[in-house]
Amino acid sequence: MRRVLAALLVVALLLPVALLLSLSFSRQWTWPALLPAQWQLRLWRDLLADTAGIGSAIGHSLLMAVGVGSVATVLGFPTSRRVAQHRRRGRLLALIHLPYALSPVVLGVSLLYVFLKWHLAGHLVGVMLAQLIFAYAYAVILLSGFWNPRTAALVDLAHTLGAERTQVWRRVLIPMAMPMLLICLFQTFLISWFDYPLALLIGGGQVQTLTIRLFEYFSSGDIRLAASCALLLMAPPLLALLMNQRLLSPATTPHMETLDE
């Protein structure tokens, strides 16, 4: 039974990818044929040659996702400590959840007026700052769970053994938190990578991202280009997921086993 469920899960995951691949390589595909009648490589050749200007959209998306994920993780780690150790921890966490109580469209419209005043609308930095509101809040929420009694006990033990504050961070806290930090970096990367409403509202059409191109192609009825963009949109997250699993494997995190002992 488990094998059947596993097989169904694999099919459910791979079927959309197979459909997108077929659409991106198809030249003629009419109902009710299960497979395209004709295939072509021209579309992918044009994309790789950047005749459609898709390269700049990929570059913008990668730059923003890496930047937003890195800043959110670096700032969220110490902030989560202050929040977790605060006497009003529950209220602070509720306040940090506030961006997720609002729709990105509502938040984008609210920020647009301020960003226009600050001349940030229509610029890459403005879009990244808007995305950082969600990513930073997510990082603080995720990493606040790291600061538990076990972590506090190990910090106290390190201080008892004569470790200074910088040594505690460098040799105890950061190695312990590395798996969570990598997960946080991956998740906040995805928040920026898949963002559409904030990039559209704050970017104002001046900042082209892969998600904006995807919706443009879909709205224009060019389903083959939309399928190609969707595949390109899937590639970096899948690569990051594989790297994340590799970095989080027991063989690459021996310090965690040592700490557990």
Terminal C-alpha separation, the chain? 37
pLDDT in tens, 209-235: 999 999 998 888 888 888 888 999 998
pLDDT exceeds cutoff 50 at 257: no
pLDDT in tens, 27-48: 777 777 777 778 888 778 877 7
The rounded percent of the chain whose pLDDT value lies above 90 is 54
Contacts of 123 (CB under 8 A, 6+ apart): 206, 207
Q: What are the structural domains, with CATH classification, of the chain?
A: 53-260 (1.10.3720.10)
* Greater model confidence, 29 or 102: 102
Q: Per-residue confidence at 92, pLDDT binned at 50, 70, 90?
A: very high
d(C-alpha 71, C-alpha 139), whole Å: 10
Q: What is the mean pLDDT of residues 68-89?
A: 95
pLDDT exceeds cutoff 90 at 9: no
Residue 115 vs residues 23, 57, 104, 134: alpha-carbon distances, Å: 39, 22, 15, 16
Q: What are the residue ranges of helices labelled H in the chain?
A: 2-25, 42-48, 54-84, 89-96, 98-101, 104-117, 124-143, 149-160, 165-168, 174-193, 197-203, 210-219, 223-247, 254-260
Closest CA to 199 of 53, 54, 64: 64
d(C-alpha 261, C-alpha 254), whole Å: 11
Q: What is the mean pLDDT of residues 55-67?
A: 93
d(C-alpha 58, C-alpha 208), whole Å: 9
